[in-house]
Structure 1
């Protein structure tokens, strides 16, 4: 169920990319499914989706930990990226969030805060002609500590020239929500392409 969106309290809007602004999550999952078939580990779609926003290398390490395997993470990463590269041209925008990006042009400052690597981020933003609509882009290559740590969103706010409390995040995973909370930012959750829930930033004690 959709919620009413009110951006009056914010000067900056930070979108996660995959599954939030662009409908690429299903492509990432397909690439992981093909990789699981190649290497012989269990493909758990719900588990993988819950770790959306985590860089590919981090997910590869989590697969080893979660399934008690000993794959070389780099082998998994290269396989997943190769499969993704074959289908990434199928990416599309998510109408609910893309319409906000269009509607508030010139009124708000916009950033991307994604766990995707620079190559993937650049391809998607350029393919969908999103870059001219954005004031800042932060990807996995730009920070050392990734979601659920706050660094991605804090750097995005810094690049926008705004304080964390002046920004609101749009995310689609628990990992991303945790990062927004850690950054001290309000967050709208996007579930199956619908902006479905508002979560206020933690109150300062």
Structure 2
């Protein structure tokens, strides 16, 4: 689709599923955790929780499936499985090309629900850190997506107001966060920039 960024001064990219093709790895880690702890693995539902920190997803699993599993144990298991395969992470060509094109033209930020260590590993592995001005991860905010805090802090750190920024996201949770922040959003679907959603 045609992407028009002329009216924005800042571009905020989600990381997993938007800039990097890591969602299959996260889902595999959840699948292995589901097998280990004997809970239902719902791939589509889990994908749409993208942007929510691991512990938060564990709590949501309990609520959705009316279980009483230890969220900390689920989160530790998922992170351990993910860490075993995270080196397989790869860039998403379309959004990465856009990020490269915007160098020197716009303020660039990453706003992710991943924890600090995972974010650092992925951005260093793919050499993305030098390409952005600011990174906000799950450790930087108390309220996570679908709350707006991640994107609001990213805008603040690049010195812009929400209406001067646009978000690139791939999940319903991320879109909700962008809308709550008062920002326009481009949705990435199947590794392609596919849909524009204006702020409410």
State the TM-score, normalizing by the size of structure 1: 0.97
In the other structure, the counterpart of 1:103 is 101
**Pair 1:163-2:164 in alignment:** no
Query: What's the C-alpha RMSD, in Å, of the aligned pairs?
Result: 0.4
In the other structure, the counterpart of 2:133 is 135
One of 9, 16, 22 as aligned partner of 2:20 = 22
SS in 1 for 2:108: strand
Shift of residue 191 of structure 1? Answer: 0.2
In the other structure, the counterpart of 1:195 is 193
**Pair 1:113-2:111 in alignment:** yes
> CA deviation digits over 1:58-89, x for unaligned, max 9?
00000011011111100000000000000000
In the other structure, the counterpart of 1:125 is 123
CA distance in 2, matches of 1:46, 1:89: 23
Shift of residue 104 of structure 1? Answer: 1.0
Moved over 4 A (4+): none
**Pair 1:177-2:179 in alignment:** no
SS in 2 for 1:157: helix
One of 80, 85, 92 as aligned partner of 2:78 = 80
> CA deviation digits over 1:68-121, x for unaligned, max 9?
111110000000000000000000010110001001100011100000000100
Structure 2 unaligned regions, length at least 5: none
Structure 1 unaligned regions, length at least 5: none
How many residues matched?
A: 200
> CA deviation digits over 1:102-147, x for unaligned, max 9?
0110001110000000010000000000000010000000000000
SS in 2 for 1:195: strand
CA distance in 2, matches of 1:43, 1:65: 14
In the other structure, the counterpart of 1:90 is 88
